Amino acid sequence: MTAPLFPLFADLRNRAVRVVGGGAVAERKVEALLRAGALPRVGAPVLSARLQAWHDQGRIEWQAGEFGEDWLDGVWLVIAATDDATVNRSVATAAEARRLLVNVVDDAELSSFQVPAVVDRGALQIAISSGGGAPMLARHLRKRLEIQLDDAWGELAALFARQRERIRARFPDPGQRRRFFEQLLAGPLPRLFRQRQQAQAEDLFETSLRQTATAPAQGSVTLVGAGPGDPGLITLNALRAMNEADVILHDRLVSDDVLQLSRRDAVRIEVGKSAQGHSVRQEQIHTLMLEHARAGKRVVRLKGGDPFVFGRGGEELEFLRAHGIPYEVVPGVTAALACAAYAGIPLTHRDHAQSLRLVTAHCKDSQDTLDWAALAQERQTLAVYMGVAGLDNFRARLLQAGRAPQTPFALIENGSRANQRVVTGTLADLPDTARCHQVRSPALLILGEVAALAGTLHWFGAAPLHAAPPHSANLQAPTLPQAA
């Protein structure tokens, strides 16, 4: 076992660093050096296009030619980044002789310093090293940290750095100081930075600096779109919110795969509205959000798809605002986008559709308020939510308003999930086809010329099922061929 490396962050501003090599690897090293304010001196017979550009802009020096020991004159550090092992070795030996720290790219043996994998949040940097022995492991860990740490961390670091002297003066005792930081970090400050409320964040900091007593924790609600089901479709912000949540209030539409990603000790409460009925009333959901937020909890209100598309997200925010509960919104991939993508249906297409409408048609009342003349127009795509029950009426009204009976449709059931089914046909036999294949909620209807493209562009799960033959329309629904 070799001894572990000594970790260190070097101030390289205005300090010369020799980089030997002029290719892609050297380019990456030079870029990092420039970010740190160093003065890269590149030595190589030829430069890559980007290195050449930096040289033309006067940002780097260039010695053309082959490596010579005089290349190490006057530099603080050396990086050997050529693809020639002999050259790299000569650089390492020469640097060693001059007691210069040297990094030979991808060669821990020849290197006297390593460049770590870095998670970069402004002034805050997390460097990961495996001692050069397992760079893949370090990179893997880096990816995990990248996902967990949002931009707010950089802002926090900058604020604390700016206020360092004042904080020290206010809390000379290190224990007191630590408690001050811990309280700030557990409170709303990180959230204010995430919400780009710079001024409020500064205000909060000022108040906290003046306060002596500890304020009670303040809860909040994050409205999060969980997407259509495939856990790969949730956003990094959604993942972070779910990881920090104390309480998760989720709809039934949210898939188990997505719920699995939330913090293990978070309390999960299903306030499931199934597509058929509303099992927990909206007022009860409001009350639950309020109670938990007032108790100082971080509440995540997790909704299928996007919270602002037929998700009553607006009502929930109005309620929270009325009660003074701070909130955030994380958008999600709405069913229309996900179902279209997973069925191979481009929602707009230069040849077929120049606009897209998202509509809901779950009951007669909602259908009565729709502008059917507008919906019946050609060269547009309709994405219809909650439509399975009202298909007969939907077809009749559209035909009446003049949409062609042969307009293609696709019904996507359980879009993006393992049990996805796609049923295609034309408007004329839409309800019969849906019945024939026993399409169930959640299902989304896409109507318009583009729907026909599912036949050729599908890529996920089973191929689209076809329309029922016209004469079978009134027959009893046969048992389903199970999607493979």
| Catalytic center residues | 251, 273
How many residues sit close enough to ligand SAH to count as binding (CB under 6 A)?
A: 25
Choose, by CB under 6 A, the member of 218, 441, 463, 483 that binds ligand SAH.
441
Q: Residue 239: which of 157, 313, 146 has the closest Cα?
A: 146
Q: Residue 18: which of 28, 8, 26, 7 has the closest Cα?
A: 26
Closest distance between ligand SAH and the C-beta of residue 253, in Å? 6
415 is in an annotated binding site: yes
Which is nearer to ligand SAH, 32 or 275 (by Cβ)? Answer: 275
Binders of ligand SAH among 189-228, rule CB under 6 A?
228
Q: For ligand SAH, which stretch binds (CB under 6 A), given 115-123, 391-399, 410-418, 455-463?
A: 410-418
Distance (Å, whole) CA 20 – CA 66? 9
Choose, by CB under 6 A, the member of 36, 87, 275, 389 that binds ligand SAH.
275
Q: Is residue 442 reached through a cis peptide bond, with omega within 30 degrees of 0 on the bond before it?
A: yes
306 part of the interface to ligand SAH, by CB under 6 A: yes
Enumerate the β-bridge partners of residue 121: 124
Closest residue to ligand SAH using C-beta atoms: 305
Q: What's 395-435 look like in SS3?
A: HHHHHHCCCCCCCEEEEEECCCCCCCEEEEEEHHHHHHHHH
Strand duo 101-104 + 247-250: pairing: unpaired
CA 137 to chain CA centroid, nearest Å: 23
The contacts of residue 53 (CB under 8 Å, 6+ apart) are: none
Which is nearer to ligand SAH, 152 or 445 (by Cβ)? Answer: 445
The contacts of residue 463 (CB under 8 Å, 6+ apart) are: 422
Choose, by CB under 6 A, the member of 110, 253, 258, 454 that binds ligand SAH.
253
Distance (Å, whole) CA 119 – CA 128? 8
Under a CB-based contact definition with an 8 Å cutoff, are residues 383 and 356 in contact?
yes
Choose, by CB under 6 A, the member of 43, 132, 187, 229 that binds ligand SAH.
229
221 is in an annotated binding site: no
386 is in an annotated binding site: yes
416 part of the interface to ligand SAH, by CB under 6 A: yes
Which is nearer to ligand SAH, 116 or 415 (by Cβ)? Answer: 415
Closest distance between ligand SAH and the C-beta of residue 310, in Å? 4
Distance (Å, whole) CA 416 – CA 437? 19
Which is nearer to ligand SAH, 227 or 408 (by Cβ)? Answer: 227
CA 353 to chain CA centroid, nearest Å: 29
Distance (Å, whole) CA 324 – CA 170? 31
Which is nearer to ligand SAH, 358 or 453 (by Cβ)? Answer: 358
Task: Give the strand order in the sheet containing 298-303.
Answer: 267-270, 247-250, 298-303, 220-225, 327-330
Q: Residue 299: which of 366, 334, 249 has the closest Cα?
A: 249
Distance (Å, whole) CA 422 – CA 411? 6
Which is nearer to ligand SAH, 191 or 250 (by Cβ)? Answer: 250
415 part of the interface to ligand SAH, by CB under 6 A: yes
Choose, by CB under 6 A, the member of 153, 193, 310, 394 that binds ligand SAH.
310
Residue 195: count of CB within 10 angstroms of its CB: 16
Choose, by CB under 6 A, the member of 159, 309, 343, 423 that binds ligand SAH.
309
Closest distance between ligand SAH and the C-beta of residue 325, in Å? 21
386 part of the interface to ligand SAH, by CB under 6 A: yes
105 is in an annotated binding site: no
Choose, by CB under 6 A, the member of 444, 450, 453, 454 that binds ligand SAH.
444
Which is nearer to ligand SAH, 309 or 427 (by Cβ)? Answer: 309
Binding site: which residues? 24-25, 45-46, 228, 304-306, 309, 334-335, 386, 415
Residues that bind ligand SAH in the complex, under the rule CB under 6 A: 228-229, 253, 275, 303-306, 309-311, 334-335, 339, 385-386, 412, 414-417, 441-444
Binding site for S-adenosyl-L-methionine: which residues? 228, 304-306, 309, 334-335, 386, 415
